[in-house]
């Protein structure tokens, strides 16, 4: 795994990318987004924090936050017209949903925050949603004999938020790819990460987690008990994987087969460590795979997906260009 050194504080500050709690990868990623914002002349959002006494504190500017009105009007966070249209369609469809069917999509995070993994999911898969032939070629390259044809791609997808048939919680896949293959109808549920450090507060444990895990039969002895403690670095991987397992035999028969894929940049050590920590708890890894953004971009290049792939790589993975920056 390639690791990154934290850029000099003077460099980060000069490019309005200095955030004291960022680890090395997040610092590099935030700086990349700052450079991309500057290249595209995007206006900065003025961030504020309301204090307990009711007063408002103005926060130091970070260039990865684009002025929200501008970002929503121009789709500044998205790489192509096709991707912007995918976002527009998704938001319009979500406005018509209610209750458990409504997807969790925060407009500020989606439109304004260049560093967020949610808009990145659209930038990675929006063009593929519009061209299922391209999607089929890319996914066949990545997953070989499992996939014959991609039939649909959805964003922020769950088969049933809070539904006892599955895991009873509100977990959802960032990207959901349906396909046909030699074994019938299948799916790939994808969790997309970029600068996350995996140090999030664990979700509340639900008894259904243990039921699904035991029924699936894919865990090594002792792993389920350890996972029921909801260990912080890997509990989201477990919940997403359980959602995947709950949609296929032997738990349910929605699909003939399915896999959970954790997609992340190879230099994000926190994501790499979480993958390694989770994988060692599995006796059968057919339903769990990790995929680096670099490998995904390579597949897009190999299938000649278009010039937007170069922009995608420069924006999210162009760390070589900042390695020698100094002030």
Distance in Å from the first CA to the final CA of the chain: 28
Using CA atoms, how far apart are residues 176 and 5, in angstroms rounded to an integer?
Answer: 33
Amino acid 158: pLDDT:
95
SS3 state of residue 225: helix
The model's pLDDT over 105-140, given as tens digits with 9 standing for 90+, comes to 889 999 999 999 999 999 999 999 999 999 999 999
Exposure string of 151-178, with b = 16+ CB inside 10 Å and e = fewer, is eebbbbbbbbbeeeebbbbebbbbbbbb
Does a structural domain hold residue 316?
yes
Does a structural domain hold residue 4?
no
- As given in the structure block, the two tokens for residue 320 are 């070589």
Using CA atoms, how far apart are residues 214 and 250, in angstroms rounded to an integer?
Answer: 10
Does a structural domain hold residue 124?
yes
Does a structural domain hold residue 139?
yes
* pTM higher than 0.85: yes
Does a structural domain hold residue 120?
yes
Amino acid 1: pLDDT:
65
Question: What separation in angstroms does the CA of 190 have from each of 11, 187, 312, 319?
Answer: 34, 10, 18, 24
Please, what is the average pLDDT of the chain?
94
Higher pLDDT, 98 or 291: 291
Number of structural domains (the chain) is 1
Amino acid 327: pLDDT:
53
Backbone φ and ψ of 9, nearest 5°: -60, -35
Does a structural domain hold residue 293?
yes
Using CA atoms, how far apart are residues 327 and 113, in angstroms rounded to an integer?
Answer: 26
Confidence of residue 47 (pLDDT cuts 50, 70, 90): confident
Q: How many helices (H) and strands (E) does the chain have?
A: 13, 7
Does a structural domain hold residue 86?
yes
The model's pLDDT over 216-268, given as tens digits with 9 standing for 90+, comes to 999 999 999 999 999 999 999 999 999 999 999 999 999 999 999 999 999 99
Does a structural domain hold residue 287?
yes
User: Which domain range does residue 60 map to?
Assistant: 9-322
């Amino acid at each position: 795994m390639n690791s990154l050194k934290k850029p000099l504080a003077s460099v980060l500050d000069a490019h309005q990318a200095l955030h004291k709690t960022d680890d090395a990868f997040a610092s590099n990623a935030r700086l990349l987004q700052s450079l991309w914002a500057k290249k595209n002349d995007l206006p900065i959002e003025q961030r504020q924090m309301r204090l307990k006494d009711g007063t408002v504190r103005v926060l130091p500017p970070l260039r990865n936050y684009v002025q929200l009105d501008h970002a929503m009007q121009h789709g500044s966070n998205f790489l192509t017209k096709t991707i912007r249209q995918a976002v527009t369609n998704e938001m319009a469809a979500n406005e018509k949903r209610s209750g458990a069917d409504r997807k969790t999509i925060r407009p500020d995070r989606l439109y304004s925050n260049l560093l967020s993994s949610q808009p990145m999911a659209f930038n990675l898969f929006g063009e593929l949603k519009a061209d299922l032939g391209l999607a089929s070629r890319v996914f066949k390259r990545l997953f070989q004999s499992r996939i014959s044809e991609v039939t649909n791609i959805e964003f922020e997808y769950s088969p049933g938020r809070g539904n006892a048939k599955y895991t009873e919680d509100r977990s959802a896949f960032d990207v959901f790819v349906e396909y046909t293959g030699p074994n019938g109808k299948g799916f790939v549920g994808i969790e997309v990460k970029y600068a996350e450090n995996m140090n999030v507060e664990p979700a509340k444990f639900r008894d259904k987690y243990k039921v699904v895990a035991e029924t699936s039969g894919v865990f090594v002895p002792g792993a389920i008990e350890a996972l029921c403690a909801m260990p912080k670095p890997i509990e989201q991987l477990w919940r997403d994987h359980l959602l995947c397992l709950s949609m296929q035999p032997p738990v349910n028969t929605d699909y003939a087969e399915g896999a959970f894929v954790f997609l992340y940049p190879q230099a994000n050590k926190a994501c790499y460590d979480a993958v390694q920590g989770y994988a060692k708890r599995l006796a059968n890894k057919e339903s769990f795979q990790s995929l680096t953004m670099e490998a995904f971009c390579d597949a897009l290049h190999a299938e000649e997906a278009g010039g937007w792939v170069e922009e995608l790589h420069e924006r999210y993975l162009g760390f070589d260009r900042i390695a020698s920056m100094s002030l």
